[in-house]
Amino acid sequence: MACFVAPGGGAAGRKCRTAKRFGLLRQLLNCGLKRMRMARIPRGILCGSALEGDENVIKKAYAGMTAMVCLLFASGSYADQPMPWQATLQPAATPIMRDIHWFEQYTLWFIVPVTLFVLALLIIVCLRFRASANPVPSKTSHNTLIEIAWTVGPVLVLLFLAVPSFNLLTAQLTLPENPDVTIKATATQWQWNYEYEGSGDNPLAFDSYLLKDQDRAAAGKEDKARYPRLLAVDNELVLPVNKTVRVLVTAAPTDVIHAFAMPSFGVKIDAVPGRLNETWFRAEREGLFYGQCSELCGKDHAFMPIAVRVVTKDEFAAFMAAFEAGDYAAANATLAAVQ
């Protein structure tokens, strides 16, 4: 299988690597199936009349193994948006999200052994203490050693989980002093309004709506891989890379509760009418990042996406200069020209 992809080939490179993996796995599966044919498994071992013969069994086994392979490798193509069959967190774009990734892996070292241990105990109880194997059950009601163990053990596990958890929560909720950029995100059924702080008498604010399919051509956003359906917006929030951004989050006074959530940034905070919540992040790489309102807010809750475009310092300066001189459309055109 020939595959020529330039370094940093992005989605094309990921598809090529996935294709190579599937090629190798297909060869292994074919080899296994040939051995199965040579072995000629007796029909009685399988399901008798439920199957039409060895070939059907082989085909079903092939389909089952292929499905499992698809599940294993479906989440191998990452982007700053949800992916089909993705079973992991989105790639981290901020220090907080990196810590969340670490904490997820850390907790698995406790979750997996505890789950396997409980499963083993259940199997032992079912086999050893079933009625046929143990017709006269024991009348033991207490065991001091076991009672101490099942009290101290969970306490220690919770202690090892609590310490890094509290550290992570503290980092999330402690805002850095003197943020580089402050924005205000106001939620309304069913859109977001963004305002840059320090705008003076003429605030630099704009609305962000879900991008409709019929508006893609006019907006120059026909590439659904980069501007996915139900996540792309007409106006993205533009922010600089490697800068601390403070986000003030609220909802319109007569509206309902919403939530500002950006998975790649490790940010999720409620937008409550009449109250001002705040959070922060520091994006460490450029790109287009997607999130959504994560609080049920009415019939169009699913159509309230968030899109953040992280650019270089110079590109952000050019964008803000054009925004102050004109409007968002002019600033967006300037940003496109600079990029």
pLDDT above 80 (res 24): no
* Mean pLDDT along residues 7-25: 46
Tell me: do 104 and 55 sit in the same domain: no
Please check whether residue 269 is in contact with residue 185, taking contact to mean a CB–CB distance below 8 angstroms.
Answer: no
- pLDDT-based confidence at residue 231 (cuts at 50, 70, 90): very high
Tell me: do 232 and 293 sit in the same domain: yes
What pLDDT sits at residue 30?
55
What pLDDT sits at residue 305?
95
The mean-pLDDT minimum among 50-64, 180-194, 213-227, 288-302 falls in 50-64
* Mean pLDDT along residues 75-103: 82
* Mean pLDDT along residues 316-333: 84
Instruction: Tell me if 89 is assigned to some domain.
Output: no
Strand order across the 181-188 sheet: 204-208, 191-196, 181-188, 245-251, 277-281
- Count structural domains, the chain: 3
Instruction: Tell me if 259 is assigned to some domain.
Output: yes
* Mean pLDDT along residues 77-103: 85
Tell me: do 226 and 300 sit in the same domain: yes
* Mean pLDDT along residues 97-108: 96
Tell me: do 124 and 189 sit in the same domain: no
Tell me: do 330 and 191 sit in the same domain: yes
- Whole-number Å distance between alpha carbons of 308 and 49: 58
State the chain's mean pLDDT as an integer.
Answer: 80
Instruction: Tell me if 217 is assigned to some domain.
Output: yes
Tell me: do 152 and 195 sit in the same domain: no
More confident residue, 269 or 87: 269
Instruction: Tell me if 209 is assigned to some domain.
Output: yes
Range of the domain at 255: 181-338
Tell me: do 210 and 169 sit in the same domain: no
Instruction: Tell me if 1 is assigned to some domain.
Output: no
Give, as one character, the DSSP assignment of residue 233: B
The DSSP result for 236-257, as a single string, is: PEEEETT--EEEEEEE-TTS--
Instruction: Tell me if 234 is assigned to some domain.
Output: yes
CATH number for position 217: 2.60.40.420
- Backbone CA torsion sign across 34, 39, 43, 44: negative
Tell me: do 117 and 208 sit in the same domain: no
Tell me: do 210 and 318 sit in the same domain: yes
* Mean pLDDT along residues 294-309: 93
Beta carbons within 10 angstroms of residue 245's beta carbon: 23
Q: What is the largest CA-CA distance in the chain?
A: 88
- pLDDT-based confidence at residue 48 (cuts at 50, 70, 90): very low
